[in-house]
Amino acid sequence: MAYDRKDRFYRKAKEKGFKSRAAFKLIEINKKFNLMRPGMQVIDLGCAPGGWLQVIAQEIGPSGKVVGVDLEPIHGIVERNLCLIQGDINQQPIQRRISAELGRRVDLVVSDMAPNLSGVKFQDHYNSYLLAQMALHCCSLFLRERGGFVVKIFPGEELENYKKALKERFAKVQTFLPEATRKTSIDMYLISSGFIPPKTETPTAISAVGAS
């Protein structure tokens, strides 16, 4: 076994009733960057099995709303302030379903999406970069002006290009490596705030909703 699956965070997740150890990464990120508040609307991309969803639902409270999307089904999360969509975020019908769930542009987009690992470092990095690009596209579609964005990316050749693209759309971009990331893991998070919407966005259902 390459890592201790039942490490400290795995056991803590079980104890606290979180669906995944990933929950602690978002708790750490939120503690440091103070991203979430009651009443917020949030999109959680790559939300299965649901640890981040649980943390978000708790932070935004009953007056907030979180829309979670994943290729995989999500089971056993009963918070009332969430909506779950199963499907591929690259597909326009899935993007339209997100729009239909929202009454306005959201305050925060988070993406913990990860590709299936091939074991080939460049390929895994590149696939992660493509998912991160899609998550950034979702900001253009759904995020309000000055909103926040958290995205996972595996480090590699395209990282600097990606950061450059982020800096064109956000006032502030920071890098964060959570303690709850496994020693063997390659994920890093980019935390951005102060979203600057593109001037000419392809119209989508959300365009009709407008910024809050």
Ligand X SMILES: C[S@@+](CC[C@H](N)C(=O)[O-])C[C@H]1O[C@@H](n2cnc3c(N)ncnc32)[C@H](O)[C@@H]1O
Residue 88 near ligand X by CB under 6 A = yes
Residue nearest to ligand X (CB): 46
Closest contact distance (angstroms) between CB of 145 and ligand X is: 25
Q: What CA–CA distance (Å, rounded) separates 143 from 104?
A: 9
Least CB distance to ligand X at residue 199 (A):
27
| Conformation bin of residue 17: beta by default, left when phi > 0, alpha when psi is -120 to 50 | left
16 included as an active-site residue: no
Site for ligand X contains 20 (CB under 6 A):
yes
Q: 19, 25, 65, 152: which is the annotated catalytic residue? A: 152
Tell me if 166 contacts ligand X by CB under 6 A.
no
Q: How far apart are CA 153 and CA 126, in angstroms?
A: 9
Q: For residue 57, give the 3-state DSSP assignment.
A: helix
Closest contact distance (angstroms) between CB of 45 and ligand X is: 6
Under the phi-then-psi rule, with left for phi > 0, alpha for psi from -120 to 50, and beta for the rest, what region is 210?
left
Beta strands in 136-185 (DSSP E): 143-153, 170-176
107 binds ligand X, rule: CB under 6 A: no
Q: In angstroms, give the least distance from the CB of 135 to ligand X.
A: 9
The sign of the CA dihedral 182, 177, 56, 32 is positive
Question: Residues 44-83: x/- map of binding to ligand X (CB under 6 A)?
Answer: --xxxxxxx----------------xxxx-----------
Residues that bind ligand X (CB under 6 A): 19-20, 22-23, 46-52, 69-72, 88-90, 112-114, 131
